């Protein structure tokens, strides 16, 4: 048996001699609250839930000076359930962001990693997530228990792509672009499961705008058969700061959501934020219009009041 292997890699080597300045930052988010749901399989529920506003996690972020104006960077994040102390994933240790590479410079950045899509990068701050919290305001399909809408995934929410390479340009005035390739890593089918995405952001204050386009191939070695089909997502959004109120809107169109043929939908989102001293008040609405054959429609209304005790600690109700 003959086998050939070609590799291009970047790594941080802990055993290497210390020749340059290095810094490592430990950070975390801890979130827990009482939640009442009026309908869970036909019955109400009151419980202590974790990560409703922000997902609890711990992370490590580091940089090292390589000389001649270059630096190496890495980020490793692991989610956990604050109510039980258990990890949020038993199959992936660093189940959130995990990457090593070179940071942005005059030519941009191109790190390999497990990372957010360009749709997330350019539209997350225009969405209800994270302002309304992970459980309440996501426009990433607006799925619920038993809902077929869970098949939709426009990646504005918490979708991270493993085995991916992403380029982010430097900012030219108020404009920036990025692009991603997610490697499917399917043996004997190099294009299977691959993800391709591009995006752009334009932020001349007080206006902010973003867009993104994404395609995801079927993961099977035989490609897309009768049931699955290539997932395609187009998302565009804009916001305006009226000082003090802020208004945001997003429109996403998805075809063959999560590579399920015929799982087509449009998702519309609107949100307004109004600061009030140390508090933030917000209201938003989301609408998912499913296409035939399911024709599933979902309407969602969000109300939020958040009060900052410090820059890092807050109370909230939604």
pLDDT digits (tens, 9 = 90+) for 11-20: 444 444 445 5
Q: For residue 122, what is the enclosing H or E element?
A: helix 118-123
Predicted local confidence at residue 110, as pLDDT: 59
- In the numeric block, which tokens belong to residue 217? 């191939």
Tokens of 229: 């089909």
CATH top-level class of 104-317:
mainly beta
| Domain spans, the chain | 1-103, 104-317
Q: How confident is the model at residue 160 (pLDDT cuts 50, 70, 90)?
A: confident
- According to DSSP, residue 162 is labeled E
Q: Which pLDDT score is estimated for 147?
A: 57
Mean pLDDT of 247-251: 92
pLDDT of residue 203: 95
Residue 8 has pLDDT above 60, yes or no: no
Encoded tokens for 263:
């799982």
- pLDDT above 50 (res 256): yes
Of 188-202, 214-228, 236-250, the one with minimum mean pLDDT is 214-228
User: CA separation (Å) from 126 to 198, 249, 282, 286, 304?
Assistant: 18, 7, 13, 13, 16
pLDDT of residue 96: 79
pLDDT given at position 5: 43
d(CA 295, CA 52): 29
Q: Span 104-133, mean pLDDT? A: 71
pLDDT of residue 126: 86
Check whether 53 has a pLDDT greater than 90.
no
Rounded average pLDDT over 208-228: 83
């Amino acid at each position: 048996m003959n086998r050939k292997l070609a590799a291009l890699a970047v790594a941080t080597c802990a055993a290497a001699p210390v020749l340059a300045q290095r810094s490592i930052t430990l950070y975390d988010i801890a979130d827990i609250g009482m939640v009442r749901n009026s309908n869970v399989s036909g019955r109400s529920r009151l419980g202590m839930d974790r990560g409703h506003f922000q997902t609890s996690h711990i992370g490590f972020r580091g940089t090292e000076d390589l000389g001649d104006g270059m630096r190496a960077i890495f980020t490793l994040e692991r989610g956990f359930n604050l109510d039980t102390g258990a990890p949020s994933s038993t199959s992936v240790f660093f189940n959130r962001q995990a990457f090593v590479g070179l940071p942005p410079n005059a030519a941009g950045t191109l790190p390999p990693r497990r990372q957010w899509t360009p749709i997330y990068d350019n539209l997350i701050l225009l969405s209800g997530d994270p302002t309304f919290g992970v459980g309440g305001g996501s426009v990433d399909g607006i799925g619920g228990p038993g809902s077929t809408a869970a098949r939709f995934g426009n990646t504005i929410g918490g979708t991270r792509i493993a085995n991916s390479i992403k380029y982010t340009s430097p900012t030219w005035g108020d404009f920036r672009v990025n692009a991603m390739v997610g490697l499917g890593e399917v043996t004997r089918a190099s294009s299977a499961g691959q993800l391709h995405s591009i995006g752009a952001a334009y932020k001349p204050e007080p206006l902010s705008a973003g867009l993104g386009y994404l395609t995801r191939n079927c993961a099977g070695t035989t490609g897309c058969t009768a049931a699955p089909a290539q997932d395609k997502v187009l998302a565009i959004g804009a916001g305006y700061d009226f000082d003090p109120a802020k208004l945001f809107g997003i429109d996403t169109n998805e075809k063959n959501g999560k590579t399920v043929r015929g799982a087509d939908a449009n998702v519309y989102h609107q949100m307004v934020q109004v600061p009030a001293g140390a508090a933030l008040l917000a209201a938003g609405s989301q609408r998912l219009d499913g296409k035939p054959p399911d024709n599933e429609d979902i309407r969602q209304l969000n109300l939020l009041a958040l009060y900052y005790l410090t820059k890092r600690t807050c109370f909230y109700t939604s």
